[in-house]
Amino acid sequence: MRFLVLVFFLFSFGAHASRMVQSKIYDIDYGVGDEETFIMLTSGDVVWVKSSRNKSASGQLELVKRLNQSKIFTLGDANELLSVKEASISEQTAVDEFSPDSIQEEHVPTVIADLATATAHFKAGRYLDKDSQCFNRAHVWTYEWFTKNQIKSNKTWVFFTRRYIRKFKFEWWFHVAPSVAVSENGVVKEKIMDVKYARGPIDIKRWTDKFLLDDANCPMVSTYSDYANYPESGSCYTMRTSMYYFQPFDIESKEIWGTIRADWIDADVKSAYLEAFEEVFGGIAK
């Protein structure tokens, strides 16, 4: 309780608009010298902490990170931190009980016959005009294309470097969308299926250009550490996973502990439907 009161008084003044995000803290970047501190939330949001010199607040944020606690963060119109409060028990993130000790990853994406067919599947992807998290939307889209059309897809991730985040005061540290294999004139090509930010299947460079303010190329890497270990190198990196990977933590866990995701996890699918579409496996949430 002491922490919540402290944060409220530090960050609640001067806001003209706000939004709430339920998330955990993935990492905290204190910068160098007079640079502002920013928090990387597991939701993908970058949150700016104006009073970064306050050692007590920094210590409490570090505690939230270390304990892996889910909190409700209130953000201002410039993604500045306004307040933090407890998430209710019913709002807490479900425990992931997936422990595939001996599963081998053998994911072969479905090759869609042509661009017209891929476009038809794209247009069947739903979008609810509300604040939602990209990884939840992507999980529902890939899940529905699989269960309704037997399409095995991938997810393509773009990770923004800390250098890029500071340079442009960028509000995300990652974004993700489904990607599919499409046959075009006998050549299989990757197409991004971002129903929110595109009008149809598009090439990866056209997709990343929608978010990059410096027209940077985003190298494709094979491991999460290729991004995480080079925070000041370039502007962005891209990475490809199977459709089953839900959040960046899952990608990191694969590299560190060998935890492979080879199937859908009910807790992830349920939380994705609820957050992105306000539904419980197709039924309207009450």
Our count of domains for the chain comes to 2
Q: Tell me whether residue 52 is in a domain.
A: yes
Quick one: 58 and 139 in the same domain?
A: no
How far apart are alpha carbons 275 and 42 in whole angstroms? 14
Judge whether residue 276 has pLDDT over 60: yes
Q: Domain boundary residue among 91, 126, 147? A: 91
Quick one: 49 and 117 in the same domain?
A: no
The DSSP-derived string for the chain is -HHHHHHHHHH-SS-SSEEEEEE-EEEEE--STTPPEEEEETTSBEEEETTTT-HHHHHHHHHHHHTT--EEEEEETTSBEEEEEEPPGGGSPPP-----SS--------EES-HHHHHHHHHHS---SS---HHHHHHHHHHHHHHHH----EEEEEEE-HHHHHHHT-SBSEEEEEEEEEEETTEEEEEE--TTT-SS-B-HHHHHHTT-SS-----EESSTHHHHT-TTSSSEEEEEEETT--SHHHHHHHHHH-----S--HHHHHHHHHHHHSEETTEEP-
Quick one: 244 and 133 in the same domain?
A: yes
Q: Give pLDDT tens digits for 249-274.
A: 999 999 999 999 999 999 999 999 99
Average pLDDT over residues 228-242: 95
What CATH number does the domain containing 76 carry? 2.40.50.340
Judge whether residue 245 has pLDDT over 70: yes
Average pLDDT over residues 236-252: 96
Q: Which residue has the higher pLDDT, 260 or 105?
A: 260
Q: Give pLDDT tens digits for 113-156.
A: 999 999 999 999 999 888 899 999 999 999 999 999 999 999 99
Mean pLDDT of the chain: 85
Quick one: 123 and 261 in the same domain?
A: yes
Q: Domain boundary residue among 40, 61, 91? A: 91
Quick one: 195 and 223 in the same domain?
A: yes
Average pLDDT over residues 183-191: 94
Enclosing domain of residue 9: 2-91
Average pLDDT over residues 171-177: 97
Quick one: 135 and 183 in the same domain?
A: yes
- pLDDT, residue 55, reads 58
- pLDDT, residue 97, reads 33
66-70, 138-142, 239-243: least confidently modelled range: 66-70
Judge whether residue 191 has pLDDT over 80: yes
Quick one: 61 and 158 in the same domain?
A: no
Judge whether residue 235 has pLDDT over 90: yes
What CATH number does the domain containing 155 carry? 3.10.620.30
pTM: 0.84
Judge whether residue 166 has pLDDT over 50: yes
- pLDDT, residue 264, reads 96
- Reported as a pLDDT band with limits 50, 70 and 90, residue 54 is low
Q: Domain boundary residue among 37, 61, 91? A: 91
Of 44, 12, 4, 49, residue with least CA distance to 29: 49
- Reported as a pLDDT band with limits 50, 70 and 90, residue 33 is confident
